[in-house]
Amino acid sequence: MTRSPLVLIGKIWLALILVFLYAPILVMAAMSFNASPFYQLPFQFSTDWYAKMAGNQQIIAAAIRSVLIACATTAIATVLGTAASVALFRYDFPGKRILQVLLFPPIAIPWLITGTAMLVFFFAIGIGRGTPAVLIGHVALALPYVIVTVSARLSSFDVTLEEAARSMGANAWTVLSRVTLPWIAPGIVAGALFAFAVSFDQFVVSYFLSEPGDSTLPVLIYTAIRKGFTPEINAISTIIVTVSMAVMFLAARFSKFGGSR
Amino acid sequence: MADLVTPAERRRLYTLLSPAYLWLMVAVFLPLSAMLFFSFLTDMPQDAPDWGVTLGNYAEFLSNPTYGTLMAKSLKLAVTVTLFCILIGYPCALVLAKSIKGRAREALFLMVILPFWSNSLVRIFSWAIVLRGNGVLERAINWVLPFDVRLNLMFTTDAVVIGLVHSYLPYVILTSYLALQAVDDDLIDAARSMGASKLTILRRILLPLSLPGLLAGAVLVFVPVVGSFMEPRILGGRMGTYYGTVIEDQFVAVYNWPLGAALSFILLAVVIVILAAASPVLKRAQT
Amino acid sequence: MSRVDVANVTKKFGQATALDDVSITFEDGGFFALLGPSGSGKTTLLRTIAGFYFPEAGTIRIGEQNVETVPVEKRDIGMMFQNYALFPNMSVADNVGFGLRVRKVPAAEEKRRIAEALELVQLGAMANRKPSQLSGGQRQRVALARAIVTNPRVLLLDEPLSALDKTLRVDMQIELKRIQREIGITTIFVTHDQEEALTLSDRIGILKDGRIVQAGPPREVYDRPVDAFAAGFLGEANWLPEAALAGLSLPVTAAGRRFATRPEMLSISAEAPADGRNAVKGRLQQRVFAGAMATCLVEVAGQQWKLVARDRDIPELPGGGDVWLAWDPADTLAVPA
């Protein structure tokens, strides 16, 4: 389908979409380096807002909390999710289909509903708001992503490799650690990166579950925007976008997500 | 894959499976059940010892027309955003899947879905910078056009739509692209050998075969947009009161949790109806 | 129906030349097989004739029309694909009717022609099925009906039988030949299966590295290959070692030539034949029984020769012993060295 005006129009369309997707982010990034607090032009380069941001204890504390929660979420969700994927792949048992279907509500139900439900429930059982509640929520949201990603990798695993290992005398744990896990390693890495992104970018659930004054970075940003934002928020936002895009770029590399088949 | 025969295997299965599913149980499914329960209460038990059971929260939804109006407003917003995402995103997926080959395709596809994985709050915030009066967009347009345009888009419904389309467009592109990529190029060649024009190929082959993917994308846009509250708050200003923002208020401002729970549950019911309506076509995608 | 003339066609993909100055004529109503190893350019030639590719140089004529710059959808051809490429979202009848609908054929006529085409491939009862409900052979027939229902000027087949198993393939070969004769359409057929090419076609073209090596009726190509590649690609060839040539009766002088025999032209015995036929001495390595026929592998001056004959025509011979392979001098193939 080359040499056609339709194709040319299509390519221009695609280019416009890319502009639409990236322009606001680039504008925000540019403005974070602009001296004027009211986004006045002409543009004057300045790193003042980054310096101010670095001096803002609230932002730094929230950033550290966000990263720590994301790392903890990644560790827990990756281990639990990988274990569950292996079990779902390896064994046939009654109710397996139901367990697989149960992965979708946490993905498909709007986070507003999940988040408020968690808030209500955690208060009822005494966990309440705060960092533990946020962590519990984030792991639950990340788990389905890890299980789906690792399962996708496992589905291309040749079971006869395990059988071959067993025929050579390996026990179940040796088979798992020497044969199965090395094969699914790229899937696990991708799943872990997804988990990190889900947690690090999570706003809605964090918003309902975090203690005021003890919030994660996105929640802090939201509060700041509603109070009337400052260019410091611009600076930290630019950093967040850069970090999360870098993480997802790596995840895409590892999972060959959408690559040529 | 093996059937469970020995107790040892059974034990191993439970060891591997139960942590993940217990976690999901505690953090997702029990909360959803608890919320259903609380939506029938007069007060939260921890606040008022004299709490009771009532249908009042649901009656409130029915008797106060504001909620119905807001639900309709949110549904209309979701329809608008979904339609824009389809109209903008499907041609994009089509070009990516069928006109661009090799490494360029991979790179462009990654570029299209990458922003989607960056923080949605921050991306909405970036639109606030672009759209505000005397903001970057207005300056850019006035710089290009000879006459002066005032387009104060910030704090309008249009701003909310633009922000949401920006947030969810990659979903439609992703699912449509995957569906279109799965269509064998030989089918297109075969249709051409029988004399079909590009439009005929699109209408009679590509569109029907990628419909499940397109619909999956539409559902993935529609469902969260019905429940959106952050985007309308930031970009909508006074125009930004929707069903989602009312639920938010119940939990963080008004502190009427039972009413909030009931409103959340009504939203969940709407979501389930939408998912159920779409499922016959979505199932076809797997066969 | 039309004849197809390809003249001096060159097609490049980037740096690689897929077709190198190819000229060939496909006669009106003929059944022409394009045969060659993978990468020889046979599929490229077919797709260039179809109009999926435009050549960098040369002309292609279908009937009286120059078509080398006409895109495929305007070329009025019928094509069958290796994996059939049936539209999974349409019924059998809709698949067959696709080209008619595109041509805006009136509904009543469309219906009649779909029925006729399905009748021709003996699938009248399957009109309302979806492709996923058909067997491999049935899909094949639908693809054929779909390719011919518009009465195209030429029918192009891209390895259409390679996805079928052996027995079904033989049935379909007979069927394809019958239908081709019945409608008399010019047919060009790409295959890498030499037996299939010999069975079906009335002319064969052998391609190598984007060039036509030899074209002609199957028997002529088989009996008089123009070079070593053609001799070895269509049928098998036992090459005569240089040292063995002395004393043999050859059809032409040996200078600048190589000689070969076909496995089925040979006879085998423990003693040198006394009837004046050509013969070489070798050592029997293996005898493989395959029902009616048997194959003997014989080492001749360091090379492996192959003999194919009816099992009952091969005498009992000791394995590893010396044997003589003999053939009629007229059956000796000679190609330029």
**What residues are paired with C62 via a beta bridge?**
C4, C65
Please provide the distance, in angstroms rounded to a whole number, between the alpha carbons at the two ends of chain C: 41
- Chain B contact probe: residue of A22, A43, A91 with most B CBs at under 10 A: A91
Shortest distance, CA A241 to any CA of chain B (angstroms): 5
Name subunits touching B (3+ CB pairs < 8 A): A, C
Instruction: Give B-chain residues touching A20 at CB under 8 angstroms.
Output: 166, 169
Range of the domain at A103: 55-255
The beta strand positions in A151-250, using DSSP E, are none
Cα(B203)–Cα(B183) distance, integer angstroms: 14
Q: Is B170 helix (H, G, I), strand (E, B) or coil?
A: helix
Q: Is the pLDDT of residue C196 over 50?
A: yes
Q: Is residue B275 in a domain?
A: yes
Q: At B143, phi and psi to the nearest 5?
A: -70, -35
The beta strand positions in chain C, using DSSP E, are 4-13, 16-26, 31-35, 57-62, 65-66, 77-80, 154-158, 186-191, 203-208, 211-216, 238-239, 257-261, 267-269, 278-290, 293-300, 303-310, 322-327, 333-336
Residue with tokens 């611009």: A234
Instruction: Give B-chain residues touching A24 at CB under 8 angstroms.
Output: 123, 126-127, 129-130, 166
Q: Report the percent of chain A where pLDDT is more than 90.
A: 31
Give the CATH number for residue C300.
2.40.50.100
Looking at residue C130, the DSSP 8-state letter turns out to be: -
The reported pLDDT for the residue numbered A261 is 29
The reported pLDDT for the residue numbered C1 is 61
Q: Name the H helices within C104-152.
A: 107-120, 136-148
- Chain B contact probe: residue of A101, A114, A120 with most B CBs at under 10 A: A120
Q: Are residues C194 and C323 in the same domain?
A: no
Cα(B243)–Cα(B72) distance, integer angstroms: 8
Q: Does A123 touch chain B (CB under 8 A)?
A: yes
Cα(C226)–Cα(C133) distance, integer angstroms: 47
Q: Does B115 touch chain A (CB under 8 A)?
A: yes
Whole-model pTM: value is 0.83
Q: At B73, phi and psi to the nearest 5?
A: -65, -45
Give the CATH number for residue B101.
1.10.3720.10
Number of domains in chain B: 1
The reported pLDDT for the residue numbered A41 is 65
Q: Is residue B213 in a domain?
A: yes
* Distance (Å) of CA C287 to CA C267, C296, C316: 13, 4, 10
Q: Is the pLDDT of residue C253 over 90?
A: no
Q: Does B92 touch chain A (CB under 8 A)?
A: yes
CB of C329 within 8 A of CB of C277? yes
The beta strand positions in chain A, using DSSP E, are 91-92
Query: Which among B189, B195, B200 is the nearest to C81, CB-wise?
Result: B189
CB-CB under 8 Å, A147 with B178: no
Q: Is residue A213 in a domain?
A: yes
Mean predicted confidence (pLDDT) in B99-107 = 85
Q: Is residue B99 in a domain?
A: yes
Contacts of B231 (CB under 8 A, 6+ apart): B124, B160, B163, B164, B167
SS3 content of chain A, % helix, strand, coil (to 5): 75, 0, 20
Mean predicted confidence (pLDDT) in B69-95 = 95
Query: Which among B190, B195, B204 is the nearest to C103, CB-wise?
Result: B195
Q: Is A168 helix (H, G, I), strand (E, B) or coil?
A: coil
A128: nearest Cα among A208, A199, A222: A208
Q: Is residue B2 in a domain?
A: no
> Mean pLDDT, chain C, as a whole number?
90
Give the CATH number for residue A105.
1.10.3720.10
| Alpha-carbon torsion, ordered B143, B146, B147, B148, to 10 deg | 10
Cα(A215)–Cα(C301) distance, integer angstroms: 88
The beta strand positions in A98-171, using DSSP E, are none
Q: Does B3 touch chain A (CB under 8 A)?
A: yes
Give the CATH number for residue C138.
3.40.50.300
Q: How confident is the model at residue B153 (pLDDT cuts 50, 70, 90)?
A: confident
Q: Does A231 touch chain B (CB under 8 A)?
A: no
Q: Is residue B41 in a domain?
A: no
CB of C107 within 8 A of CB of C128? no
pLDDT in tens, C324-337: 999 998 889 989 87
Q: Is the pLDDT of residue B1 over 60?
A: no
| Alpha-carbon torsion, ordered C4, C102, B188, C194, to 10 deg | -30
CB-CB under 8 Å, A261 with B4: no
CB-CB under 8 Å, A24 with B127: yes
Q: Is the dihedral of CA B163, B165, B166, B171 positive or negative?
A: positive
> Mean pLDDT, chain A, as a whole number?
85
pLDDT in tens, B261-276: 999 999 999 988 988 8
Range of the domain at B172: 66-284
Mark A58-93 as b/e (b = at least 16 C-beta within 10 Å). Answer: ebeebbebbbebbebbbebbbebbbbbbbbbbbbee
CB of A198 within 8 A of CB of A138? yes
Mean predicted confidence (pLDDT) in B158-178 = 92
Mean predicted confidence (pLDDT) in A139-155 = 91
Using DSSP bridges, classify how beta strands C4-13 and C16-26 pair: parallel, antiparallel or unpaired: antiparallel
Residue with tokens 């249009």: B158
A vs B, Cβ pairs < 8 A, gives: 280
Instruction: Give A-chain residues touching B13 at CB under 8 angstroms.
Output: 87, 91, 93
CB-CB under 8 Å, C98 with B196: yes
CB-CB under 8 Å, C89 with B209: yes
pLDDT in tens, B207-216: 999 998 999 8
- Among chain C residues, the shortest Cα distance to B287 is held by C132
Range of the domain at C291: 240-336
CB-CB under 8 Å, C78 with B189: no
CB of A71 within 8 A of CB of A196? yes
Instruction: Give B-chain residues touching C76 at CB under 8 angstroms.
Output: 195
Q: Is the pLDDT of residue B286 over 60?
A: no
Cα(B207)–Cα(B213) distance, integer angstroms: 10
The reported pLDDT for the residue numbered A259 is 37
pLDDT in tens, B241-254: 999 999 999 998 88
Burial of C153 (0-12, 13-18, 19+ CB in 10 A): buried
Number of domains in chain A: 1
Q: Are residues C248 and C126 in the same domain?
A: no
Q: Are residues C91 and C134 in the same domain?
A: yes
Q: Are residues C41 and C153 in the same domain?
A: yes
Q: What's the token pair of residue B13?
A: 């299965």
Q: Is the pLDDT of residue A260 over 70?
A: no
Instruction: Give A-chain residues touching B260 at CB under 8 angstroms.
Output: 116
Contacts of B254 (CB under 8 A, 6+ apart): B260
Q: From chain C, which residues contact B within 8 Å (Cβ)?
A: 50, 52, 71-74, 76-79, 81-83, 85-90, 98-99, 102-103, 146-147, 150, 156
Angle C280-C285-C290 (CA atoms, 0-180°, nearest 5)? 105
Higher pLDDT, B109 or B77: B77
The reported pLDDT for the residue numbered A1 is 41
Q: Is the dihedral of CA A91, A96, A97, A99 positive or negative?
A: negative
Cα(C204)–Cα(C235) distance, integer angstroms: 13
CB-CB under 8 Å, B31 with A237: no
Q: Are residues C159 and C205 in the same domain?
A: yes
Shortest distance, CA A220 to any CA of chain B (angstroms): 11
Q: Are residues C188 and C248 in the same domain?
A: no
Q: Does A105 touch chain B (CB under 8 A)?
A: yes
Q: How confident is the model at residue C5 (pLDDT cuts 50, 70, 90)?
A: very high
Mean predicted confidence (pLDDT) in C250-258 = 82
Q: At C280, phi and psi to the nearest 5?
A: -125, 155
Report the phi/psi class of residue C183: left, alpha or beta, with left for phi > 0 and alpha for psi in -120 to 50.
Answer: alpha
Q: Are residues C246 and C322 in the same domain?
A: yes
Q: Are residues C13 and C107 in the same domain?
A: yes
CB of A114 within 8 A of CB of B28? yes
B vs C, Cβ pairs < 8 A, gives: 63
Looking at residue C159, the DSSP 8-state letter turns out to be: S
Shortest distance, CA B280 to any CA of chain C (angstroms): 15
CB-CB under 8 Å, B195 with C82: no
Q: Is the pLDDT of residue C320 over 50?
A: yes
Q: Is the pLDDT of residue B144 over 90?
A: no
**What residues are paired with B143 via a beta bridge?**
none
Q: What's the token pair of residue C120?
A: 């021709």
Cis before A42? omega within 30? yes
pLDDT in tens, A83-123: 999 889 888 888 888 988 888 888 888 999 999 999 999 98
Contacts of B248 (CB under 8 A, 6+ apart): A112, B229, B233
The reported pLDDT for the residue numbered B287 is 42
Looking at residue C264, the DSSP 8-state letter turns out to be: G
Mean predicted confidence (pLDDT) in C93-99 = 94
Cα(B217)–Cα(B116) distance, integer angstroms: 13
pLDDT in tens, A22-76: 989 898 888 888 877 766 666 778 888 888 888 888 889 999 999 999 999 999 9
Residue B10's Cα: distance from chain center in Å?
A: 39
| Alpha-carbon torsion, ordered A132, A136, A137, A139, to 10 deg | 130
Q: Which of residues 175-194 of A touch B (CB under 8 A)?
A: none
Mean predicted confidence (pLDDT) in C91-111 = 93
Q: What's the token pair of residue C181?
A: 């004769």
Cα(C204)–Cα(C33) distance, integer angstroms: 5
Query: Which among A13, A27, A143 is the nearest to B126, CB-wise?
Result: A27
The reported pLDDT for the residue numbered A2 is 47
Looking at residue B225, the DSSP 8-state letter turns out to be: H
Q: Which of A225-234, B46-55, C50-59 has the highest mean pLDDT?
A: C50-59
Report the phi/psi class of residue C266: left, alpha or beta, with left for phi > 0 and alpha for psi in -120 to 50.
Answer: beta
Number of domains in chain C: 2
The reported pLDDT for the residue numbered A258 is 40
Q: Is residue B46 in a domain?
A: no
Shortest distance, CA B172 to any CA of chain C (angstroms): 22
